[in-house]
Amino acid sequence: MKTALLYADNLTSKDEIAKAAEILKNGGLVALPTETVYGLAADALNEKAVKNIFVAKGRPSDNPLIVHIAEFSDLDGIVSEITPEAKKCMQAFWPGPFTAVLPKTEKIPSVTSGGLDTVAVRMPKNDIAREIIKKSGLPLAAPSANRSGSPSPSTAQHVIDDLMGKIDAIVVSKNCDVGVESTVVSFAVNPPRLLRPGGVTAEQLKQYIPDLVIDAAVLSQPEKGAKVASPGMKYKHYAPKADVTLAVGDKKAFAEYCNTQNADLVICYDEDVGLINSPTVSLGFSADHKKQAERLFDTLRDVDKKGYKTVIVHAPTTDEMGLAVYNRLIRAAGFKVVQL
């Protein structure tokens, strides 16, 4: 398949935005920028188009998709109920990196919701994404625009590397500012449950949901065969081909550990660099979780490009956006974690 590259840095790229919307209306697949990561979009109500997302990504069919909308009124007909807490969070965090799981209507096909009776909905902040949704007049199912299992795409080049020739078009735009996927909260259970940490932090959510529960799968590997609230959380994910170990401990313990291991690469923080004998790459200051999130997926992709075989990563602390970075890193490490 020939993949069209549509260059759009801002809303003045009207022809490219119109072209992307037209492809989506015709049941095609378009990768587009969002503030979290690039998404692979299709008409969320078109079963055939949504099935093609799973094929292009190689995604397991039980892993449901997030439906992207442009305005609050787009929720009509998609969700059957909005709880007061969900409404407060939508008002506080939309447009932005926050996804609400709510009971779905019959209009949402089972292929979009991965067979569940709930649907995940988000209003992205990126104005090109929102304009494409508006122009298409459709709710768009849009998982991350990568091959399933590999690190998510935070730049247009990552999408080109993974999906060129497999989808109809890629909207080539700026790098994503958040760099990790949205925060997913289920309001279909009481109390509401954080299923995936992301650009909106647990601390921010607790202002509106004081009894928020953090799902066990956020920080650890679900038991084999266990029923998980968020199917995406059970897979090894975001992973380079290298053997990755996540090490949890302070900078002294971390340096001592690394200096006995001889790894090809150590992914760490600015404060670690001078203490480690192996080659290092820093994600930024240890307290700067935002910067770490922004750099994370590009750093993981670079591991494969450079052909490293063994990699040790220093675990971030799990406050603020550190929780999202930690959550991606345990999956990138295939749940291989050492406590120092």
Contacts with Mg ion by CB under 5 A lie at 144
Of positions 230, 286, 318, 327, contacts ligand AMP by CB under 6 A? 230
- Which tokens sit at 138? 């459709």
**Residue 196 contacts which entry, ligand AMP, Mg ion, none (Cβ below 5-8 A, type-dependent):** ligand AMP
Site membership for ligand AMP, residue 233 (CB under 6 A): yes
Q: How far apart are CA 313 and CA 299, in angstroms?
A: 11
Q: How far is the CB of 70 from ligand AMP (least distance, A)?
A: 18
Q: What is the largest CA-CA distance in the chain?
A: 58
Q: How far is the CB of 198 from ligand AMP (least distance, A)?
A: 9
Count of C-beta atoms within a 10 Å radius of residue 334: 16
Residue-wise DSSP of 69-110: -SSGGGGTTTBS---HHHHHHHHHH-SSSEEEEEEB-TTS-T
Of positions 68, 196, 301, 328, contacts ligand AMP by CB under 6 A? 196
Site membership for ligand AMP, residue 292 (CB under 6 A): no
- Which tokens sit at 276? 């480690």
Residue 237: name the closest of 171, 143, 121, 114 by CA. Answer: 143
Residues 240-259 that bind ligand AMP (CB under 6 A): none
* C-beta of 131 vs 162, nearer to Mg ion: 162
Q: Is 153 helix (H, G, I), strand (E, B) or coil?
A: coil
The CA-based angle 84-79-112, given to 5 degrees, is 135
Of positions 28, 96, 143, 240, contacts ligand AMP by CB under 6 A? 143
* C-beta of 79 vs 266, nearer to ligand AMP: 79
Print burial letters for 208-226: b (CB count within 10 Å at least 16), e (below 16): bbeebbebebbeebbeeee
Binding window for ligand AMP (CB under 6 A); candidates: 21-29, 63-71, 269-277, 330-338: 63-71
Residues 91-110 that bind ligand AMP (CB under 6 A): 101
Q: How far apart are CA 249 and CA 324, in angstroms?
A: 18
Site membership for ligand AMP, residue 144 (CB under 6 A): yes
* C-beta of 27 vs 103, nearer to ligand AMP: 103
**Residue 66 contacts which entry, Mg ion, ligand AMP, none (Cβ below 5-8 A, type-dependent):** ligand AMP
The backbone torsions φ and ψ at residue 169, rounded to the nearest 5 degrees and listed phi first, read -155, 155
Q: How many residues does this entry show for the chain?
A: 340
Binding window for ligand AMP (CB under 6 A); candidates: 13-21, 26-34, 58-66, 273-281: 58-66
- Which tokens sit at 66? 């997030």
Residues 210-229 that bind ligand AMP (CB under 6 A): 229
**Residue 193 contacts which entry, Mg ion, ligand AMP, none (Cβ below 5-8 A, type-dependent):** none
Q: How far is the CB of 162 from Mg ion (least distance, A)?
A: 11
CB 112 within 8 A of CB 143: no
Residue 182: name the closest of 103, 104, 111, 125 by CA. Answer: 125
Q: How far apart are CA 225 and CA 234, in angstroms?
A: 10
Binding window for ligand AMP (CB under 6 A); candidates: 22-30, 116-124, 168-176, 287-295: 116-124
Q: How far is the CB of 309 from Mg ion (least distance, A)?
A: 25
Residue 101: name the closest of 89, 88, 119 by CA. Answer: 119
* Residue nearest to ligand AMP as judged by C-beta position: 232
Helix 14-25 vs helix 127-136: crossing angle, to nearest 10 = 50
Per-residue interface string for the shown chain with ligand AMP, residues 149-188, x marking contact by CB under 6 A: --------------------------------x--x-x--
* C-beta of 66 vs 171, nearer to ligand AMP: 66
Contact set with ligand AMP (CB under 6 A)? 63-66, 101, 113, 116, 118-120, 143-144, 181, 184, 186, 195-196, 229-233
